[in-house]
Each structure stands twice: as C-alpha cells, then as structure tokens.
Structure 1
Amino acid sequence: MVLVDYSDSEPEEDEKETRRQDPASLADSNILNRKRKTPPEPAADLPPLPAGFQDLYSTATRASTQDDPSLHGGRKRSVPHVEGNWPTHVYLEWHPSQTGSNILADLINSVNAYQTSQHSAKGAEHAVHSLLQSDLSAALPLHISLSRSLVLQTPQRDPFLNTLTSHLRSSSVRPFQVAFTSLKWVPNFERTRWFLVLGVQKPERDELNRLLKASNDAAAIVGLPPLYASGGFAAGGGLDDAFKGKIQKTPATRGRQTEQKDCSDAFHVSVAWSLKAPEEDLRDPMMQSEVAAILEKDLNKMRVSFEVVKVKIGNAVHSASLATKNDGNERGILG
C-alpha cells in the first residue's frame, strides 16, 4: 500500500479556493488581514505605586536569629535583639533622584579614593561602604533621624505611636525643604562604626527642631531617652564632640516633656560608613579639593522636600503626613 505524499501547502490552497467561491469568507479574510496590519494600540500608562508600597519592603529578610557580624560586613547591632522588644525609629525619609544619587556617589567615591591613597593601614576595615544601594544594587532611601534607636516593649507600641501622633499634630509642621551645608566623619555611640554624614541647613521655619521636640516628648512619656540630649552620634542615637555645647543635657523622665534647644548643627543624612576611624588628618573630607568642588558645584544646590514623618516599629512602618493647610480647616498629621 502506497501513501500519497503531499506538501503542507496543499490544504492552504484548498482553503484559498473555497474562499474564492464564498464571498462571505473572502470578506472575513480581508477584515482579518486589515487587523493584522493595524499597529496595536499603545498601552495605557500604569498608575503610580502608592506611597506606602516601599514601606512594605523596608526591612531585609532576617538571615539569622542571632547577631552575626559576618552576615553584615562586620557590623554589630547597637541594640541586641530580644524577643518581645520592638526596635523603633522616628525619621524623615529621602529617596534621592537619579541625578541626586549620581552626585552622592561621586562624593563618596572621591572620599574613598583619597582615603585609600592616604591611609597607612589599608584593608577591608578601612573601606568606605555606600548607603545608597543594597548588596543587590537596589536603590536605598536615606533619612534624617528624629529619635534614637528606641526599644519598645509590646504594651508600649500603641501608646507610643498614639502619643507621638498627637505631639506631631500639635507641632503644626507643614511640608518643608532642607539644604546641605557640610560633610564630615563621625562615630556612633559605641565607636564600632564611623559614618560619612551630610550636615543639614536649618530650615526656614525651624521645622526639624519642632519635629524633634515632638518625638523626644513622646519618648520621654514612655520612659525612653531623647535624641541629641546627652552627646554621642546621631546615627547611633546621639552626637559627636563637634555638636556638644549647643544641646541641653536633659535626662529622660517618664511623663515629663524635655526643653528643646537649637539642635540644628546635629541634623544630618548618613551616606556611607566604615568600620574603622579615618586617620586624624582625613576626618574632614571638605579639605579635599575634589570633595569641596562637588559640594560647591552640585550638592549645595540640592533641595530635599519632606511631607511625611516615618515611624518604624519592628518591621512595620507607619507614615504620618505633615499638615498641608494653614487655615481654620487645617488637618494635621493623621488628622
């Protein structure tokens, strides 16, 4: 028995012949061909992500239940993890634009290159690590601290958040902008890390001091220490020696509001860190010509707007919008 061979094109020829004989099929074919030649409609622009979307992924996945510096480039916890305790931080968050990130990256690279060339003891501990990106090169937000690294117990979480919300509302702070004035190296409380920080210029209506007072008062009411009240460095909760003298040393007293003085010299944004202190003659990066040029040309012109206060309790981030109106119907934070 012999099978008859035929090409794959033969069924198509039969179909074409049928369509020649059927006007309806021919019309359908013409419509189909026109649709194929018509370019697809452009996709509508996707709606922007909600402002709180990034808060859902603000904390990295925990790699260990114990403090293991080897998992974090040699860094150690300033506050040990204890079950039932909730690390808490009040801050203003800044997501630099691509242009801003490029300027900051150039600044960090200039500091790192000069420090590496001048250090007598080179090594991993002296490396400068940028805070602009994660280990996977994802852009990271920067911040201005409004509290120390606080530790709340479970029953304190809601009272602290409610009290803070009330004090922030009473501050009547509206959205504002800040500019940068300086660059310096400063240590944390334990002097286990050094941070490269941008000094912040005092805003027009003293908004930073007003927000700091609201945060410190809320911390004092639940018996926690205020920020910028007893020296040290702000990234770890206090200040370095350069900031002492302008800040009142007020103990944290439960239920008692602190007297707020001008802490404008203390506010800052950390942009990089190192495990070891730079040598004494390298602790003022503004003395380096390349750094000074970037500060004068680009960074001094940068303005950063803030409209929200962030409160991070454990892995949860709460956003408190600043007041946007200044009339009888003004609605404050979370109001």
Structure 2
Amino acid sequence: MPDSPNAFDPQRLAALRSAVETGTFEAAARELRVTPSAISQRIKSLESETGRVLLQRSKPVVPTESGEVLLRLARQVDALGREASNVLGRVGGASGATPGAAQAPPSLERLPIAVNADSLATWLLPALAPLAGEIAFDLHRADEAHTTDLLSRGAVTAAITADPVPVQGCTSALLGEMRYTPMASPDFVERWFTGGARNSGGVLAHAPVVVFDRADRLQERYLRGVGVDPAGPPCHFVPSSADFVRAIRLGFGWGLVPDLQGGDDASLVEIDPGASISVPLFWQQWQLHTEALGRTASAVFAAAARSL
C-alpha cells in the first residue's frame, strides 16, 4: 500500500470517482474521454495498490467501505484541481496568456452538500442563491440524523446535521436550532382535540399523525414526551416538506411543523399551546479548504444567524 496520499495516481483516483458518480465504467469512460477498459484497468491497479476491493461491480457501481475512503480523497483531489484551474483562468488573462488565444470560461466547481429537508425547504436555498452562478451545488437530501453518513462515505463535502461530533477529517460548528410546533388544521382540532391535545381523554393515542418518512422521529419524540406510545396512532407518510405541511392543512392529521413554515400560517393551529421541540443543527465540512467551500460556509452561517 502507498505510504502517503501523494503515492496514489491521480488518474486512478479520477477513474474511481467518476465510476461512482456516473454509475458505470462506460459512463465514466465518456466523462474522462478514455475507453471503458482503461477505467477498469485504472481501478484494478488502484485495488492492487491498496490490496482492497474498492468497488462492487453492480449497476450502478457501489464503493466498498475501503472504496469510500479513497473516494473522499479522489473528490478532494478533484476539488483542489478544479480550484487551481479556475485560479489560473482568472490570472491568465492578466499575466501572460497567449495573445489572441480564446480563453475558456472557468468551470463551475461542483460542491456536494447533504442537507435536511426542512432546511432545504426554508432558509438554505436563499443563502446559496448568490453563489449559484459560480458554484454547481449538488444537494443530497437526508434526515438531519443521517446526513453525516454521506459525509463519512465521501459522498459530500459538507453536511447540515444534528450530530455535533465531527466526522473524521472534518470540522463541526453549531448553526442554530430549528424549532418545531405540533399543529393541525382547525377542523382537525375541533374533531379530535376539543379540550386540547393533552386534555382530550387520551385521544393522542388514536388521532392520525402526519410523518415525513420512516427516518422522521420528531412526532415520536413528542408522543413519548407526553406519555403516549408512538406505535398507537395511525400514520400518514408524506416525504416532501411542502406537501407534509399541506397534508396537515388538509386535515390528514397533526404533525410537528417547523416554525419557519407554519409560524404565520392562519390555516394551522397549535394542538398543545406552548409545546415545541428544538433540533440543533451543525455544519460539518472537510478540513481541506477550497475557496468554494469557504464561501459557501460563510453564506450558510450568515443565513442561519438570521433564520434559526
């Protein structure tokens, strides 16, 4: 095995990265403008160097645990290379580019970020919008409790997460807290909670509840907090932030709505006045610095300070 990251052939790393991102050796070959056999040979050589199987040859190809380690390195090498190319493109015209030669515009640096659905639906996109002409954002939606899984696998450069413990090779800093309030439509409240959610004869154990997806534990946390078995009430699963709130407005059930979405919504009312759940959010990112990552982090922290 190589003694240092510098010993890994950049072309072999690029083949690994492209195969994972495009899904097949054939697509990777098109992206890198080589033959599929060249992609296969480069990855086999990388596996020989490391003594590890790096990819599952499925469709799409999937990195193994060892492959995820080198995938993160491959993406870091790619990010640094793109940044260097863009910097050279900016300084070339001012310091000696060939006279009369057409200058290709700098390519957008691709920046993959894992983000929870509620941040994506509320405050994050306006934060990133001013940078969208210079950075190609690749947003991966996942529950805030699971976004660091993508970071640890090397699938993303940064993540908005509920986990304060930094992934190896990353930093972690608090962004703020998202506050959620249990809410329902007025008609649903009249039908189920005439005396309030906690004072309606144990009705919370039977009242339908709207849940984002099977990784969403917020409604479960609230029910356990008021002494109700979360396995009791029927659940509607609505895996879209906008449609989740819409389903509650339409009377499917009650649910925990982000204050950023439901705070001023007259079509929603609190089922348990004063009750709420706050979820701390952290920004984790590679310790490796690039200009695009640094500018994005600054924009995210500024928006979080205004919104959370």
TM-score scaled by length of structure 1 = 0.17
Which structure shows the bigger proportion of residues in helix conformation? 2
Structure with max Cα Rg: 1
Comparing both chains, which one has the higher relative contact order based on Cα–Cα distances under 8 Å and sequence gaps of 6 or more?
Answer: 1
